[in-house]
Amino acid sequence: MAHMIKRIQRCCLEVLCLIAFLLLLPGCVSTRFSAPADLALPPGGADLGAELCNGLLWVDVMIDGRGPYAFLIDTGAEITVIDTAVAHELFGESIRSAGLSRAQGASGRTARLDGWIRVAELSVGGMVARELDVIAMDLSRVADALGRPFDGVVGYPVFRDAVLVVDYPNQSAAALSHAAYDTLHGAPASIPLLGGSHPTVEIDLAGRSLHFLVDTGANTRFAVERLDDLTDGSNAPVVGRRRGVDGDSMSRAFRLDGIVELGPLRYQRPIIQSAEKGNTLGGRAFSDARIAFDQRRKLLFIEPRNDAVIHMPAIQMLDVLFEKLPDGWMPSTTITGTPIEAYGLHEDDRIIALDGISTAELLCTSFETFLTGKTNVTATVRRGTTTFDVQLDVRRELK
């Protein structure tokens, strides 16, 4: 299984979305798309030049000396992916099919694969991966509140022979040799990684031992496939929508009583939301920590910024996905029966500002980040030639 994210041409806003895509391939095919034949790193490690945007790690990638291309570092991806349009730009018609045709998405529906390519050299910052097979796939269908071009995914196996360090508070990422990591970071707290080609950890939730995929390609916190095993269902209301390459689905959530521990991290009454397939621990769960993936030693190192208990903010959601267009944000899903409709907005309206800040300035600010701590927000709306303000109640506290 692999989590993948779509290339962005137009972007839609989704507060609690899983913007990952689960890709299921036959084992004999999946094996091919694993680690590079060689991974070169400077002695002190490679700064990957990452930018944290909407909780996701963006990097500039050079492919066979050409680029840069905008990729995401996605530890939930078992393979590396390149957008089909970019693949054709780089390799012409030499994409090989090798029997690949369909991938299964998180909801069980499928999306098309366009083949695979052997990349001689893929470089990110000072890291160079050589002789790497990647999947070509059309990533343009879905846009997820990112507002920027998106050309592919750097999969988890690329870092098999390195330690991948993701520092969320400082918004950076690096790839280090094991010796360099030990020299720079010593021996911080760690928990076992249970997966091979994907990082999985064990967490106790409400007396149940569950396995979670640690996924830097998901901008969520705790997402559980069998949510009703943890609650009777009545306490897990619908809080929004998520979008994948295989369609839209509804997201439910509830607060889990007590404290959940993940190594040195302690979460007070965390929000648990639904997942279509598998349990996921997204990047937002580590917003106050530096984490490091060590595939050789099968350890996830965790260095909290402080010892404070983590309190998750209230859910903020308007139950509508938005597209970021040049002239503002427009609903990209039906507003019928949603709070947006109750506020009198129409499906062809454009939101052009939030609390006086132009939406054009919110490229790397998700709705969730912008609304954290707020109970309401003023949305400036353009309808045809008319502009007006609407007060939106955006706080939804889960009991």
> What was the pLDDT predicted at 10?
27
> What was the pLDDT predicted at 68?
96
> What was the pLDDT predicted at 23?
43
> What was the pLDDT predicted at 19?
37
> What was the pLDDT predicted at 106?
43
> What was the pLDDT predicted at 25?
43
Contact 263, 291 (CB under 8 A): no
**Amino acid in position 353:** A
Query: Residue 236 corresponds to which tokens in the numbers above?
Result: 């897990």
Size of the chain, expressed as the number of residues it contains: 399
Q: Give me the phi and psi of 185, to 5 degrees please.
A: -115, -10
Model pTM score: 0.82
Nearest partner of 137 among 245, 17, 248, 28, judged by Cα = 245
Burial code of 286-315, b = ≥16 C-beta within 10 A, e = fewer?
beebbbbbbbeeebbbbbbeeeeebebebb
Within 138-237, strands assigned E span 152-155, 163-167, 172-176, 190-192, 200-205, 208-215, 222-224
Contact 333, 145 (CB under 8 A): no
| Cα–Cα distance for residue pair 152/156, rounded to 1 Å | 13
> What was the pLDDT predicted at 376?
82
| Cα–Cα distance for residue pair 351/165, rounded to 1 Å | 37
Largest CA distance in the chain: 62
Q: Which residues of the chain have pLDDT under 50?
A: 1-31, 105-109, 142-145, 245-246
73: β partners? 154
> What was the pLDDT predicted at 12?
30
DSSP string, 28-90: HHHTTSSS-SEEE--TT-EE---EEETTEEEEEEEETTEEEEEEEEETT-SS-EEEHHHHHHH
